[in-house]
Amino acid sequence: MNLRKILFASAALAALAGAAHAENLLKWGANRDIGSLDPYSYGDSFTINVLNHVYEGLVRYNRDLKIEPALATSWEILDDKITWRFKLREGVKFHNGNPFTADDVVASLTRVSDPASPLKGNLPAYVSSKVVDDHTVDITLNGTYPLLLNDLTNIHIFDKEWMTEHDALKPTDIGANVEGYATYNANGTGPFSVVSRQPDAKTVFARNPDWWDTPQHNLDGFELLPVNSAATRVAALLSGEISFTNDAPVQDLPRLEAAPNVNVLEGVDLRTVMVGFPFRDKLSTGADNPFGNVKVREALYKAIDLELIHKKVMRGKSRIAGATVAPAIPGYVPELDELPKYDPEAAKAMLAEAGVPEGLEFELNCLSDGLVNEEQFCQAIASMWARIGLKPKLDVAPRAVQTPKRTGGTTDIYILGWATLPMLDAYSPLLQIFHTKEGNSGVFNWGGWSFPELDKLVQAAGSELDTAKRLALETEALGIVKKEHIMVPLHQQPMAWAVTDAVSEMPLFPDNKPRLWFARMK
């Protein structure tokens, strides 16, 4: 390419870039980047959320978070009670033009349930699947299981031909020391397709003109711009450099509300923030672990001033929680939501009674890129515990650094937020957090507890097809969680989105997931 050609090409590109402004291009300033373009190699709900604009599941949530058909049009449970038959939508095309068929579904389910897939826990009951005809698929489970549809909302369907062509039938194995093709490229059936991606800087999405559904959005595309710093995000929103953020810092809401060109969308997230205790014999310091004693857990719970955290750290925007699931989640009953009485004196007495030594040192493991104001409420909790004579050591670091310590059990007390995603049912935390760790159960049981009575209830709920009976079992199990203080809830965290006046419609969802296929611009 000679110089003149280069200049000409760049001028043409600049013209293109300039033209982009005239379109409805939504600029989404997120607090972090997606981990990959491959939803199966990076099990993280934000990544899955963003990639849901590109890839779709067999079913999806509608505006009211009710499940509706997507790539499947209908389904039935066969007579053996463990096989589900899905009829697939016809005439759907992937972004590369390939038609969508039953082969694609089987290949995708095989890929997501691969032993190396970090997402296999999201499809816990799956055993196998087979093609019946071009547009019919059978999925076999390991037993009767009521929540398959909820799980399938987040299992994205890939194109088998495309995966075969690019050697991506298996999830990326980082140990193989080669990039996965799907890490950098995407080919789904969704309302948007990926135009370009520069990690940590910009990922550009364009409207898919051949989408099978009638679009409710009027976007020509959107850009995902990761802006980690909360202050920078606010500045960018005020100056119009971004037109939407799904994480407006709660401390800056008054300022944003006062700005003439910004609208704030507020709500309470479904995510319940909880404190988890270690149940192992020893603490990370090597000292004996007193947290196996329910009285000690209760004492620590009583020493947390939930009201104060709500008022000062969460600026009155959170909902103080007594239950480990939010009120909107099936399985919740108001009786579970009773709040403890803040009483540091009683807490101190209970610790003394349980024989906990004065000045006991332990770690409090928090994320710097986790929940809303996590670093701040962790500091607040640490100082509250310091006041009842304990010596908590605050350990704050990014998720990627903390997760190995948590799963490996090399830390002590930790904070976990759980929104029951993707299934939106109390079964989710019961199975994934509170159940004893074995097989696909208790994957997030980082404290290492085991309550056989609770396990039985969870297993019973897991094969109960009658909804009312199932929810009663779940409620009973949640009662054990509360009585034993296995994890103690703090609050449902506030959720604050903000848009500039260029955006006319942006429905706020209680699962805190932006769905830009419902967004409209002026």
Partner 1 sequence: MLAFLIKRTANAIFVMLAVAFLAFVIFRFFGDPVEMMVNEQATQADRAELRERLGLNDGFLTQYARFVTNAAQGDFGISYRNQQDVMVLLKERFPATFELVLVATVISLVVGIPLGVVTAVHRNSRLANMLQISSIIGISLPSFVVGIMLILLFSVSLGWLPAFGRGDTVNIGWWSTGLLTPSGRMALILPGIALSIFQITMVMRLVRAEMLETLRTDYVKFARARGIPAARVHWRHALRNCLMPVITLTGMQIGNLIAFALVTETVFQWPGMGMLFIQAVTFVDIPVMAAYLMLVSLIFVVLNTIVDFTYAWVDPRLRDDTARAGGANG
Partner 2 sequence: MEKTLSAPAMAEPARPSRLARIRQSDLWYSFRSHRSAVIAAALLALIVVTAFLAPLITPQNPYDLASLELWNAEIPPIWNAEGQWPFILGTDTQGRDILSAILYGSRISLIIGFASVVLALIVGLALGLIAGFFGGWADNVIMRFGDVLLSMPFILIAILISAIATASLPTGLKDILAAPILIVAIAVPSWVQYARTVRASAMVESRKEYVQAARLIRVKAWRIMLHHILPNCMTPIMVAATLNFGLAILSEATLSFLGVGMPPDQPSLGTLIRIGNQYLFSGLWWIVVFPSIQLCLIVLSVNMIGDWLRDALNPKLR
Question: Contact positions toward partner 2, by CB under 8 A?
Answer: 229-231, 234-235, 238, 249, 251-252, 254-255, 284-285, 305, 308-309, 312-313, 361, 363, 368, 375-376, 379-380, 382-383, 386-387, 392-396, 401, 411
Which tokens sit at 126?
């799956």
172 contacts which partner out of partner 1, partner 2, none, CB within 5 to 8 A by kind?
A: partner 1
Question: What is the smallest separation between the CB atom of 224 and partner 1, expressed in angstroms?
Answer: 12
Distance between CA 8 and CA 13 in Å, rounded? 9
Distance between CA 459 and CA 446 in Å, rounded? 20
The burial of 235, by beta-carbon neighbours within 10 Å (0-12 exposed, 13-18 middle, 19 or more buried), is given as: middle
394 contacts which partner out of partner 1, partner 2, none, CB within 5 to 8 A by kind?
A: partner 2
312 contacts which partner out of partner 2, partner 1, none, CB within 5 to 8 A by kind?
A: partner 2
Residues of the shown chain interacting with partner 1 in the complex, contacts defined by CB under 8 A: 1, 6, 9-11, 13-14, 17-18, 20, 35-36, 41-42, 115-116, 118, 120, 172, 174-180, 183-184, 198-202, 225, 227-229, 232, 235-236, 238-239, 241, 368, 397-398, 400-401, 404, 407, 443
Distance between CA 52 and CA 431 in Å, rounded? 24
Q: Which is nearer to partner 2, 101 or 411 (CB)?
A: 411
Distance between CA 77 and CA 83 in Å, rounded? 6
Q: Within a 10 A sphere around the Cβ of 197, how many other Cβ atoms?
A: 19
Alpha helices, H only, 123-184: 148-152, 160-165, 181-184
Which string of b and e fits 317-353 if b means at least 16 CB within 10 Å? bbbbbbbbbbeebbbbbeebbeebebebeebbebbee
CA 297 to mean position of chain CA atoms: 27
Question: What is the smallest separation between the CB atom of 201 and partner 1, expressed in angstroms?
Answer: 3
Question: What is the smallest separation between the CB atom of 248 and partner 2, expressed in angstroms?
Answer: 11
Q: Which is nearer to partner 2, 117 or 245 (CB)?
A: 245
93 contacts which partner out of partner 2, partner 1, none, CB within 5 to 8 A by kind?
A: none
Question: What is the smallest separation between the CB atom of 403 and partner 2, expressed in angstroms?
Answer: 14
Question: What is the smallest separation between the CB atom of 321 and partner 2, expressed in angstroms?
Answer: 19
380 contacts which partner out of partner 2, partner 1, none, CB within 5 to 8 A by kind?
A: partner 2
201 contacts which partner out of partner 1, partner 2, none, CB within 5 to 8 A by kind?
A: partner 1
Q: Which is nearer to partner 1, 305 or 501 (CB)?
A: 501
Looking up tokens 């939106």 gives: 424
Q: Which is nearer to partner 2, 44 or 361 (CB)?
A: 361
Q: Where are the beta strands (DSSP E) in 191-285?
A: 192-198, 202-207, 221-226, 244-245, 262-276
251 contacts which partner out of partner 1, partner 2, none, CB within 5 to 8 A by kind?
A: partner 2
Question: What is the smallest separation between the CB atom of 32 and partner 1, expressed in angstroms?
Answer: 10
Question: What is the smallest separation between the CB atom of 429 and partner 1, expressed in angstroms?
Answer: 18
CB 65, CB 269: distance < 8 Å: no
Question: What is the smallest separation between the CB atom of 383 and partner 2, expressed in angstroms?
Answer: 4
What's 99's DSSP letter? B
Q: Which is nearer to partner 1, 16 or 468 (CB)?
A: 16
255 contacts which partner out of partner 1, partner 2, none, CB within 5 to 8 A by kind?
A: partner 2
Please write down the HEC assignment for all residues of 302-353. HCCCHHHHHHHHCCCCCEECCCCCCCCCCCCCHHHHCCCCCCHHHHHHHHHH
Question: What is the smallest separation between the CB atom of 396 and partner 2, expressed in angstroms?
Answer: 7
Q: Which is nearer to partner 1, 182 or 350 (CB)?
A: 182
Report the first-to-last Cα separation within the chain, whole angstroms.
41
91 contacts which partner out of partner 2, partner 1, none, CB within 5 to 8 A by kind?
A: none
Q: Which is nearer to partner 1, 144 or 261 (CB)?
A: 261
By three-state DSSP, how is residue 129 classified?
A: strand
Asked if omega into 507 is within 30° of 0 (cis), the reply is no
